[in-house]
Amino acid sequence: MLPEITPLIAGNWKMHKTLAEARALAREIRAGLDPAGTVEVAVAPPFTALAAVAAELTGSPVGLAAQDAFWEPQGAFTGAISPLMLQDVGCRYVIIGHSERRRHFGETDAGVNRKAKAVLDQGLRPIVCVGETLAQREAGETLEVVSRQLRAGLAGLDPVQAAALVVAYEPVWAIGTGRTATPAQAQEVHAFIRSLLPEVVGNAVVRLLYGGSVTPDNAAALLAQPDLDGALVGGASLQAASFLKIAAAAA
């Protein structure tokens, strides 16, 4: 990790947690965080729990994140949530282009690009997810796929706004599977992304998170890699104990 980068550990709660469960988890995370910690922590509850979790986190350093956003600020877009609404409810981050959105909801790189721009325009920080499938990795296409996703997803971003950007490398084969990229595999792709970003977004310092079956057992080895600036955590973020251990491993 570059010395000036504060690590970020973000928990993606996906489609989990009722209101009562979300409040309880937010409270536990808040209470268990090291107050002198050098790591930034954020949680991404489902939309239904954003306001409740925001209330639980008031006055704490834990950031609020959304799991997606549409690109328009308002209008006749039934079912969609805008960056304006997410800012209004207290979000700091918005996950964009998660592989589950790409796979189940037809998210494209062009859509990711519009969403990332809209999120930045609203003063929020997009966490833009990229990553290859198992078939693409086995065909030796990993770097090509990641490059294509980044070039298209981040095309035309304002270089000043890009300072707020976070990129998450999440190999699809590692998400929710218990099969983690090795530290060397993750580092290889992160170094590649780091080298590509100046061409795509200019010289902003962009935090690069790794995601894919991060647990308290593998977090330290992954986060020790020089180009990993944090983690996007799914399953292990659903319990405060495991999520807090991962945050501690990043310190």
Confirm whether 98 is a catalytic residue. yes
CA distance to 29, 41, 104, 191, 212, per residue, from 185 (Å)? 30, 24, 26, 10, 12
Selected binder of ligand PEP within 53, 65, 120, 232 (CB under 6 A): 232
- Contact call for residue 176 and ligand PEP (CB under 6 A): yes
By CB under 6 A, residue 235 contacts ligand PEP: yes
Does residue 233 interact with ligand PEP by CB under 6 A? yes
Question: What's the rounded Cα separation, in Å, for the pair 111 and 95?
Answer: 13
User: Measured between alpha carbons, how far is residue 25 from residues 20, 72, 147, 205 in Å?
Assistant: 9, 31, 36, 31
**Number of residues lying near ligand PEP (CB under 6 A):** 14
Q: Which of 40, 56, 98, 100 is catalytic?
A: 98
Compare residues 199 and 217 and give the one whose CB is closer to ligand PEP: 217
| Residue pointed to by tokens 């207290």 | 90
Nearest position to ligand PEP, beta carbon: 234
Per CB under 6 A, does 234 bind ligand PEP? yes
30 φ, ψ to 5°?
A: -55, -45
Q: Does 171 bind ligand PEP (CB under 6 A)?
A: no
Distance CA 240, CA 251 (A): 17
Q: Provide, rounded to whole angstroms, the least separation between the CB of residue 232 and ligand PEP.
A: 5
- Least Å distance, CB 153 to ligand PEP, is 16
Give min distance, CB of 166 to ligand PEP, in A: 12
- The H-or-E segment that residue 241 falls in is helix 240-249
188 contacts: CB under 8 Å, gap ≥ 6: none
x/- track of binding to ligand PEP for residues 201-230 (CB under 6 A): ----------xxxx----------------
Tell me how far, at minimum, the Cβ of 157 lies from ligand PEP, in Å. Answer: 22
CB of 175 to ligand PEP, least distance (A): 4
Residues 39-78 that bind ligand PEP (CB under 6 A): none
What are 8's strand-pairing partners? 40, 230
Of 17, 21, 43, the C-alpha closest to 30 is 43
Using the Cα atoms of residue 228, residue 202, residue 106 and residue 8 in order, give the sign of their dihedral. positive
Tokens 């998660």, located at residue:
98
Using CB under 6 A as the binding rule, whether residue 131 contacts ligand PEP is answered as no
Among 40, 56, 170, 227, binds ligand PEP (CB under 6 A): 170
Q: Provide the β-strand partners of residue 43.
A: 11, 64
Determine if 111 is a binding residue for ligand PEP (CB under 6 A): no
User: Can residue 12 be called a binding residue for ligand PEP (CB under 6 A)?
Assistant: yes
- Chain positions contacting ligand PEP, by CB under 6 A: 12, 14, 170, 175-176, 211-214, 232-236
Catalytic residues: 98, 170
